[in-house]
């Protein structure tokens, strides 16, 4: 019936044009209609999807790791070392801040660092990158460049810092020792598919890995035969320290809805249960602006805080919910330094990074997470317990990790 009505409408419209405007105008309008259809079809063709990823297609095809894997050999180099880093455009994220933490450590030891920015989608300028980094890294002998194939300065080491940059480093023709700074198991960032596989393949390239914590070290060596060393996490005692010894009536949630591995929805469910049991506690969210998310209980939306602002919020909070579904977050030790007891989902990816007895591990279910938060805030001796927790974090911050990092590099270049 609908089809018949459509045909009838077309017939009536054609008859009307023919009667009122003549045969020529009918032909003109017919041609215009045909042209519009062709243009629409042409537009659809031009919009056909192509390979879209953090790494460009040609770099993937050029990296023939299966037939010609990288075979790095240790070689002697004179200090100070020149170290090149290939990375995504640096902004305020924790991953970049951690990379530049070690760049600053190397800089203080007298070594030279060069950063090469690579991206298929981000046009951050060199000046913008330098400005972003200046907020958290004070290295003096540090240069920034846009990456161009085989145009890096001569160096002793070239680091890949994310799975997409591993393809770039693999293809780079250089005598420098190729190494991989691994902060997470990045295939988990994707559903099973092309990007998952491309990320996973990078652990088979033959690079020597320096990993964030023991879980990654064990996983990459056991499952991929990758030679690795790891550093242990620390907390900056200048930024994170215990200031509030009073009874606290607030809790904290590391809220990152845009980062699936931080379990935002799981955390919200747990906190909804917690709020029903402990409605007089203030709930603080920080990590992202969650204004657009429906949260079924009252909370304070701190959005993305500066590093120097975090300690104040931590010191108000008796406990914190930090969900880490891949490699452990840096937050638990930073929270402990402020006397805040972190509740963390119990799993090898977390325990193998830190077995600190004051981290409250529990099952990753809403009820279990909520119950653990309640258990902590109800502790009769919580201020004393919080003080002990703060003292459990090494006061040397990242110094031990930094020295280990330098020793690994020296071993590879001596």
Q: What is the CATH number of the domain that holds 137?
A: 3.40.50.11090
User: Are residues 72 and 185 located together in one domain of the fold?
Assistant: yes
User: Are residues 226 and 254 located together in one domain of the fold?
Assistant: no
Judge whether 36 lies within some domain. Answer: no
Write out pLDDT tens, residues 28-43: 455 556 556 665 555 5
Write the DSSP assignment of 91-117 as a string of letters.
-S-HHHHHHHHHHHHHHHTT-EEEEEE
Judge whether 28 lies within some domain. Answer: no
For residue 338, the 8-state DSSP code is: T
Print burial letters for 33-46: b (CB count within 10 Å at least 16), e (below 16). Answer: eeeeeeeeeeeeee
Q: Give the CA distances from residue 279 to residues 251, 255, 374, in Å, rounded to whole numbers and listed in that order.
A: 11, 19, 11
Question: Which pLDDT does position 146 carry in this prediction?
Answer: 97
For residue 183, the 8-state DSSP code is: -
- Which residue segment(s) compose the domain that 185 sits in? 62-231
Judge whether 81 lies within some domain. Answer: yes
Question: Which pLDDT does position 36 carry in this prediction?
Answer: 62
Question: Which pLDDT does position 49 carry in this prediction?
Answer: 77
Write the DSSP assignment of 159-180 as a string of letters.
EE-SHHHHHHHHH---SSEEEE
User: Are residues 207 and 85 located together in one domain of the fold?
Assistant: yes
Write out pLDDT tens, residues 217-274: 999 999 999 999 999 999 999 999 999 999 999 999 999 999 999 999 999 999 999 9
User: Are residues 174 and 276 located together in one domain of the fold?
Assistant: no
Judge whether 406 lies within some domain. Answer: no
Count of Cβ atoms closer than 10 Å to residue 293 Cβ: 14
CA distance linking residue 372 with residue 321, whole number of Å:
10
User: Are residues 212 and 270 located together in one domain of the fold?
Assistant: no
Question: Which pLDDT does position 307 carry in this prediction?
Answer: 82
User: Are residues 110 and 193 located together in one domain of the fold?
Assistant: yes
Judge whether 55 lies within some domain. Answer: no
Residues of the chain with pLDDT under 50: 2, 18-19, 23, 26, 28
Count of Cβ atoms closer than 10 Å to residue 327 Cβ: 23
The whole-model pTM stands at 0.86
User: Are residues 134 and 220 located together in one domain of the fold?
Assistant: yes
- Backbone dihedral region of 225: left (phi > 0), alpha (psi from -120 to 50 degrees) or beta? left
Judge whether 41 lies within some domain. Answer: no
Judge whether 77 lies within some domain. Answer: yes
Question: Which pLDDT does position 306 carry in this prediction?
Answer: 86
User: Are residues 74 and 193 located together in one domain of the fold?
Assistant: yes
User: Are residues 221 and 189 located together in one domain of the fold?
Assistant: yes
Assign 322 to helix, strand or coil. Answer: strand
Question: Which pLDDT does position 28 carry in this prediction?
Answer: 47
User: Are residues 345 and 205 located together in one domain of the fold?
Assistant: no
User: Are residues 264 and 176 located together in one domain of the fold?
Assistant: no
Question: Which pLDDT does position 46 carry in this prediction?
Answer: 53
Judge whether 325 lies within some domain. Answer: yes
CATH code: domain of residue 363: 3.40.50.2000
Number of structural domains (the chain) is 2
Question: Which pLDDT does position 308 carry in this prediction?
Answer: 85
Which two three-digit tokens encode residue 257?
């809805």
User: Are residues 262 and 377 located together in one domain of the fold?
Assistant: yes
Write out pLDDT tens, residues 135-155: 999 999 999 999 999 999 999
């Amino acid at each position: 019936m609908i089809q018949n009505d459509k045909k009838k409408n077309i017939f009536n419209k054609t008859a009307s044009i023919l009667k009122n405007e003549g045969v020529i105008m009918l032909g003109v309008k017919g041609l215009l209609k045909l042209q519009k259809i062709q243009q629409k079809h042409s537009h659809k063709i031009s919009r056909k999807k192509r390979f879209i990823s953090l790494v460009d297609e040609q770099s993937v095809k050029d990296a023939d790791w299966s037939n010609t894997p990288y075979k790095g050999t240790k070689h002697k180099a004179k200090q100070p070392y020149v170290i090149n880093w290939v990375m995504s455009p640096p902004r305020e994220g924790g991953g970049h801040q951690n990379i530049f933490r070690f760049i600053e450590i190397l800089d203080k030891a007298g070594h030279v660092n060069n950063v090469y920015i690579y991206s298929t989608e981000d046009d951050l300028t060199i000046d913008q990158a330098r400005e972003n980094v200046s907020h958290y890294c004070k290295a003096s002998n540090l240069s920034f460049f846009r990456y161009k194939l085989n145009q890096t300065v001569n160096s002793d080491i070239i680091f890949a810092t994310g799975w997409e940059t591993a393809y770039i480093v693999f293809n780079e023709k250089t005598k420098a020792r190729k190494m991989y700074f691994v902060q997470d198991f990045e295939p988990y960032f994707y559903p099973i598919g092309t990007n998952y596989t491309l990320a996973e393949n990078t652990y088979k390239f033959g690079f020597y890995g320096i990993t964030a914590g023991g879980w990654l070290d064990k996983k990459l060596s056991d499952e991929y035969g990758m030679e690795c060393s790891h550093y242990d996490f620390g907390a900056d005692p200048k930024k994170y320290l215990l200031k509030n010894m009073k009874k606290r009536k607030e809790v904290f949630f590391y809220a990152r809805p845009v980062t699936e591995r931080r379990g935002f929805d799981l955390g919200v469910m747990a906190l909804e249960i917690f709020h029903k049991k402990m409605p007089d506690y203030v709930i603080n969210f920080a990590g992202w602006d969650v204004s657009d998310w429906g949260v079924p209980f009252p909370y304070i939306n701190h959005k993305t805080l500066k590093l120097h602002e975090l300690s104040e919020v931590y010191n108000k909070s008796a406990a914190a919910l930090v969900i880490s579904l891949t490699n452990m977050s840096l937050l638990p030790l930073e929270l402990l330094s402020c006397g805040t007891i972190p509740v963390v989902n119990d799993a090898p990816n977390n325990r193998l990074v830190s077995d600190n007895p004051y981290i409250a591990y529990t099952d990753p279910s809403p009820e279990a997470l909520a119950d653990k938060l309640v258990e902590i805030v109800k502790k009769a001796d919580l201020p004393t317990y919080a003080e002990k927790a703060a003292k459990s974090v090494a006061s040397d911050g990242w110094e031990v990790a930094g020295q280990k990092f330098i020793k690994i590099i020296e071993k590879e270049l001596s």
